[in-house]
Structure 1
C-alpha cells in the first residue's frame, strides 16, 4: 500500500446513492444537526464559566449543578454542543485509559494508578446510569469490548497486554482471553485469538451529547452557542478570571477549559496538545443474511490488536461503523471544519473493514467523516484546577474520551467545590506534560511514527507462526513518540 491513495483505488469502494463526506458525522446526520442556541448576549457574570460544550464541558456543568443547584454556571461554545470529537467518535464507552501507568505510578505510587483504573471501570456504569435516570436515549448497549488478533504476532502481543493490564487494576474477570469456540461469536476473518472485557458499552455519540446538553439546560445552566472565544484570562490581582469572546466577556470565579482537540486554536496554547485526526466510515444497513454469518449478537464494541488499530461497532440499525487514526494531522495543526475526510482515509478504513468481514464487501458506504482529538506530548491525560489563577482544564484523552470525560467532569466538580475526595487524589490530577515541538518538526515526526507502525503491521502479517514477535519497527516508533 502506497503512501497516497489514488482515485483509481477509490473506485472499487461501493458508495451509497446517499453517500456523504463530512457534514460533521453520520451520528448527526441520523439525529439531525441541532438548531443553534443563542450566542452570548454581552458581558455577563457567573460563578463558573466552561469553554467548550463537548462531553467534558457538559459533564462538568451537570455535576456542578447537581451538587450545588444555586451555582451560576455558563458554557460557551463556538459551534454547537457536540460539534467536536464528542459528536464524531466511534461510540466506545469503555474503561480503557490512554495514559502511561508507569509515569503516573512513578509520582504517586502503583496503588494510585490502580485506583484510577478501577475508577474508569465505574465510570462506564456511571454514564449508563445517568443516561437512564435523565431519559437520554443514546442507543446504549453494555455488551462489553472484544479485541481480536489476526496473526501470530498480534496474538502474542494481546496475551502480553492482558497480563500487563492484570497487574494494573484489571482482575481476571475484568479482561481475559476467550477460549476457542466462545459463544456468542463475532466471525472476524483470520482471527487467531480474542480477548474480552465487560467494562464497555456501545453508544450513539450525538444522541448522548445532545441529550446531555438538554439536561444541563433544564438544570439551569446557561449554554451559549455560536460564540467564539478569543482569549482566556487568569485571575490577576482584583481582576477575576475572564473569557473574552466576540460577543462580550464572561467574568467568573473559575474558568474551565474543555476544548480537547481545539485547544491549539486558543491564544498561547498552540503546542499544549496536538490535534490528531481520527476518521470513520459507516455502511448502509447490513442485510440480515450477512449478519447471520458474522454474528455480533452481543453488540460488543470491537477492536483489533494491530499497531494501526481500528475500532468498530454494530449500530442500532445494523450498520457497521469503523474508525481509525488514518492521516494524523494537517501541517500547522489546522482544523478539520465540518469533518470531511481524505480519500486515503476512506480507502484504508474500507480495506480494514473488508479484511475483517469479507461478506460486507458489497454493502455500500453511506458516510465518511473525521474529527480531531487532543494528544499530549507524553500521551497522558490530565485534569487540573489552579486555585491561584482560577483556571482549570481537562483533556488529552487520546481516543478514550467518552468515558474519561465523565470522570474528568466529576473530578472538576470536586476541585471547583474544594472537596478532598477519592477523585481529587487520583494521579492524573495536576499532571503536567511538556509542549510539542514546533512545526514542521511535529508534522514530520508524526508522519514518521505513523509510517513505522504501518510498516510493522505489514511485516507482522507475514511472520510465520513459529517466529511470532512484535516488529522492531513498532519499538522504534514507540521510542520516537516518547511514550
Structure 2
C-alpha cells in the first residue's frame, strides 16, 4: 500500500464541493441567541431554533470555517453510540431514564437522515448499520458478553446480535474473523457535505453565520470576538475539542486526537472480496479504537485512536498528522484486508475530539447565566450533536419535553486534573490500551491491564 500523503487535508474537504463563503462578524450586534461554534452542535442548534421560532435573531460564530473541527474531519459514522454506558447513565438517574437516552440516540440516527433529505442535503447517507468484528478469543468473549449484557437491558436480537464466523464474513470478510456483533443503528455519511448543507440552509432562513470570527471570551449575555461583540439573551457554547482555548475552560474537556486515512477508489472486484455491500460501518472488539466505512465513491476510510495527548490541552494544526500513527493505521488496514496491500492511500488527516473527565457527554442551559452548552462526545458526535441541537432548542425556548428530561441534560463532569497529571494519565491510558491488545493476542485471555485502566478511560 502506498504511503500516506504528507498533507493532512481530509478526504471530505476534497470531495465536498465548493463552499458558500460566509463573512466574518463586522462590528457589534445584538441577537436573541448567539451560538459559539460552527460544527454540528452549533449548526443543529441554530437549525432547530430557527425552525421552531422563525422570529428569533440567531448568530453562529465560527473561528475557522463551517465544519472545520471534528464535524468535518471524523470517520463519517452517524451511530446510536453514546459515550457513557447504560449502567453509567442509570447511576446518574435510573434504569428507565437510561433506556430513554438509548432510544433517543437511536431516533437521532433516523432524524439526521430525515432532516438531511428534507433540507435537500446530499450527504451520501447510507443506513447500513455497524459490524464489530471479533478476531481473537478474548474479543469473542467480550463480544458475547456485550450481547448478553444487552439482553439484561431488554435489547433484543433485532437491535444487537452475535454473528458467527460465516455470517460475519458475508458482511465483512476480514482476516482472522471469528465472529462479530451487528447493530442496524448506524449510517455512513459524508460529514462535511452535511455540515456545509446545514450552514447553507441556515443562511437561506436568514440566520447569520460568520466564519473567521473566533470568540475570545464567552460571558453571560456576550460573545466577544476581535471583530466585535455579540450581545445575546442566550449564549450557547458548542466548541467541543477546542473548548480549552476559551478562558476558564482549560480543564473542562481534554482534546484527544483521532487520525484517519483514506484509500483511492477501489475496484468492484476488491469490494466483492471485502464486503460492506450496504456501506456498513465497521470496527472490531480491540481496546484501542479503530473505525471504518465504505464511501459513496468506493474508497475505504479507516481511522483510530493512538495519537498522543498534548501537554496543556493544546490543539494545533501541527498535531493533525502523526506519521507513526498513519503508518500503524495503514499496517492495521492491510492486516485486516491483505487485498489492499497495493492500494494507494490518497488522504491522511486528523483532529481533536472532546473528552470529559468521566467520558459522559452532556447538554444543558444554566438558567441564571443563560449560557448553554453541549459536548464531550468522545468521538460519538455525528448523531449526538443532533440530539443536543433539539434538546438545546427546547431548553432555550423553556419547553419541558421528553428530551429535556434525559439523564445527560444538566450533567456536569468534574474537571480534568491539572498538569502534568493530565498529560501523564491520559497518555498512560492510551499506551495501556495498546498493551492490552498485545496481551490478549499473546495470552488468548481478556486483558488484566485493560481491567485496571478501564476507570481512567471511561470503562
**TM-score normalised by structure 2 residue count:** 0.97
Question: What corresponds to 2:103 in structure 1?
Answer: 118
Return the match for 2:19 from 30, 34, 37.
Answer: 34
Confirm or deny: 8 A CA contact 2:84 2:458 kept in the other structure.
Answer: no
Work out the CA distance in 1 between the residues paired with 2:92 and 2:416: 22
**Pair 423,480 (structure 1): closer, same or farther in 2 beyond 3 Å:** closer
Q: CA deviation at 1:446?
A: 1.3
Mapping 1:48-67, distance limit 5 Å = 48-67=33-52
Work out the CA distance in 2 between the residues paired with 1:402 and 1:328: 23
Question: What corresponds to 1:374 in structure 2?
Answer: 354
Confirm or deny: 8 A CA contact 1:279 1:323 kept in the other structure.
Answer: yes
Question: What corresponds to 2:175 in structure 1?
Answer: 189
Confirm or deny: 8 A CA contact 1:314 1:320 kept in the other structure.
Answer: yes
Confirm or deny: 8 A CA contact 1:184 1:298 kept in the other structure.
Answer: no
Matched residue count: 458
Work out the CA distance in 2 between the residues paired with 1:324 and 1:159: 23
Q: CA deviation at 1:184?
A: 4.0
Mapping 1:144-155, distance limit 5 Å = 144-155=129-140
Work out the CA distance in 1 between the residues paired with 2:458 and 2:339: 39
Mapping 1:33-432, distance limit 5 Å = 34=19, 36-168=21-153, 170-182=155-167, 184-234=170-220, 241-337=221-317, 340-432=320-412
Work out the CA distance in 1 between the residues paired with 2:342 and 2:154: 42
Work out the CA distance in 1 between the residues paired with 2:293 and 2:97: 32
CA RMSD of aligned residues (A): 1.5
Summarize deviations over 1:45-97 as a string: whole Å, max 9, x none: 00000000000000000000111111111100110110000000000011011
Question: Which structure: greater helix fraction?
Answer: 2
Confirm or deny: 8 A CA contact 1:51 1:258 kept in the other structure.
Answer: yes
Confirm or deny: 8 A CA contact 1:22 1:339 kept in the other structure.
Answer: no
Q: CA deviation at 1:161?
A: 1.4
Q: CA deviation at 1:329?
A: 1.9
Confirm or deny: 8 A CA contact 1:22 1:338 kept in the other structure.
Answer: no
Please tell me whether residue 471 in structure 1 is matched to residue 447 in structure 2.
Answer: yes
Confirm or deny: 8 A CA contact 1:184 1:297 kept in the other structure.
Answer: no
* Counterpart secondary structure, 2:177: coil
Summarize deviations over 1:253-305 as a string: whole Å, max 9, x none: 10000000000000100000000100000011122322221122121000110
Work out the CA distance in 1 between the residues paired with 2:243 and 2:456: 24
Gaps of at least 5 residues in structure 2 are none
Does 396-405 or 283-292 show the bigger shift?
A: 283-292
Q: Stretches of 4+ moved more than 4 A in 1? A: none
Summarize deviations over 1:327-376 as a string: whole Å, max 9, x none: 13212221132773111110111111011101101101111100111100
Does 335-344 or 391-400 show the bigger shift?
A: 335-344
Summarize deviations over 1:432-478 as a string: whole Å, max 9, x none: 111011122111111111111111101111234xxxx3110001111
Work out the CA distance in 1 between the residues paired with 2:275 and 2:24: 47
* Counterpart secondary structure, 1:291: helix
Does 315-324 or 282-291 show the bigger shift?
A: 282-291
Work out the CA distance in 1 between the residues paired with 2:315 and 2:171: 39
**TM-score normalised by structure 1 residue count:** 0.92
Summarize deviations over 1:417-444 as a string: whole Å, max 9, x none: 0000000000000001110111221111
Return the match for 2:2 from 6, 10, 14.
Answer: 14
Confirm or deny: 8 A CA contact 1:36 1:226 kept in the other structure.
Answer: no
Work out the CA distance in 2 between the residues paired with 1:367 and 1:153: 33
* Counterpart secondary structure, 1:282: strand
**Pair 207,169 (structure 1): closer, same or farther in 2 beyond 3 Å:** farther
**Pair 482,85 (structure 1): closer, same or farther in 2 beyond 3 Å:** closer
Confirm or deny: 8 A CA contact 2:259 2:320 kept in the other structure.
Answer: no
Confirm or deny: 8 A CA contact 1:100 1:379 kept in the other structure.
Answer: no
